[in-house]
Structure 1
């Protein structure tokens, strides 16, 4: 939003950009960013168009923001992540109609090589590279978006540059939507000072922290978080969607110094240690049905090396069961079979031993986010045959009718990123004929 002074007054008047101006200025480069990260040009067009549509219907509000394009970019990225997760669930079996596009020259070999190299980077590193070097998003803004310290983003950028340089040789060119950034390895600069033998590397410390708190996948940390904290880094804040119940929050810090950690009204100080990985547990209670809990990390790193801090809230088992029962209570109680589960990393999957026929599969979700119900013919592998799907927003229920042509029914309830670790689901199978 631009501010200008009115005639005869020094008071600036806010001038809101028009939707057409923002669309014309940002559409192409935003498509390029999404494609660079996720690899599919048509999907990139689809999610960017959807993001602009959502902005259009509420443009009176969006245009008042300091940077309307930042809101649109965030919506597009979230839509792209959600689409990628759903496509991964179906594993290519859900065919999608594509419109025919005008013939155009394909991308050059340099662009193809670059996209392939970006696709090999970890998701967090790829997001940081695309946002920082293609969109000129500051490191601090990326850190706030990802809910990590600025030192963590700097580490992602460093590792991403190193990986791309190794793949694309000494010089690699990022050319998207007319913006070209040439990055060269800093051979002429002094080599980094090697850490002292007693201090673990950032990679080793990160692995130790992840193993200690129970984060299995560094790219999909669920409710948890891992931050690389440089000396001098200040406090940063994020939030976590916690379904109602009692949690044990595991925390650990590898390095020198300490971290003050706050989640909701609960707080604890965690002492960083180089030699030992000591886990501290903080009990937290979230009211039903759930709450968005603010999380604040205040580091005090001493010495010259970075520290690594990690945390993971885990809902206690009896509260998991209680939330699963709440999801099950939303569904009919006269079905052939029923199953409920807490939706952590991965889907709630179940194979049902039933004869061929027409079935109605009911699903419900409680908590945050959206789950996708996928129903198909059971197979010996992990992927059902002839799958069909329907979305189940948490707090609601949905059903899907399915014609089973051979014995064995397979169901999956796949949580999206928001629902992972923050929801419980249930499935009931009823026979129609």
Structure 2
């Protein structure tokens, strides 16, 4: 009788899932480049002689005051534009757990455990630093989020020949990471709660759900319902990005039986994701970065203040040390207690490089920092600088490790005669490089 096949950590996914994820990776990589450009532009402007113009742009107020929507452009970016980002995240989350590889608990256990570890350990380190230095505990969740667009952009530049399983793992980990960030924002950063608007939001959300479950795609029906849902959630005191997630969760993943069932082609969730991901990655997130990342660096004094401030130090330590430590520990423990083997062709140093890369926290980290300390406050400015510093250090460290691993895989591919740009899939099934 044949022995049961052992669980393989970071094994290759199904062909259809691999192709779909490769598509997402290409779009996220472009989004990462736009995000980086927007962030650099904001930093340059905020530290130029025209910095007051940048501050003035962020504070421009637009919207109807009677509906409590007379918000600054910076607030519209964090509450409105990021709702599009979280709508796409909601679609992706549901897609992964309903029809993706995460529907298989054996495949899901590793990235889920890694994401949980990558949230718990940075939070604990932040709390430890702030308890020792008498800092502000409220910002504990700031270093817990991974910015998938930035991380994938770095991976695309420095790791063209790394196994495809690593890219898939990073994307899947980030999907679960987004889910945890959504829960944290909804539970811990809702300062006041108005029950009536929240209950009222269930009406347009319910109508939206019924329509999409009937596979209605008419934008003139769905967009107004989505907008009203967002507005009511915003009025309730729950962060408005949660509305985007709820709307994403409402969209069906599989095709209806009348259309031929799951095998008949992409469902409505994939259709919406295809339409909205370019808007999210190409417009919403870069604009948020442009209106959020512009902080005065302060020269040498800024670095000194960063190291002396417990909140800033906690954020940097959480991103640079906590993220990789949590992800590696959770992955190792999963392998230890499930008796799983690392996939052939991979080494633990590969996972280590990826774990360091996960310390790039930007979009959601900046958002949580604003929610914790208030947009535009002195503490918020320090937190933004800490997020940028921690992310930069994590990116540089990960670049060193992954660049060395990329060279090892390139040499292996040359020996096997399978070398070629982006052909890491051929390498992942070969000999264990660098073991």
Q: Normalised by the shorter chain, which TM-score bucket?
A: under 0.3
**Larger gyration radius, structure 1 or structure 2:** 1
Structure 2-normalised TM-score?
Answer: 0.24
Structure holding more helix per residue: 2
Higher relative contact order (CA 8 A, sep 6+): 2
Structure 1-normalised TM-score?
Answer: 0.24
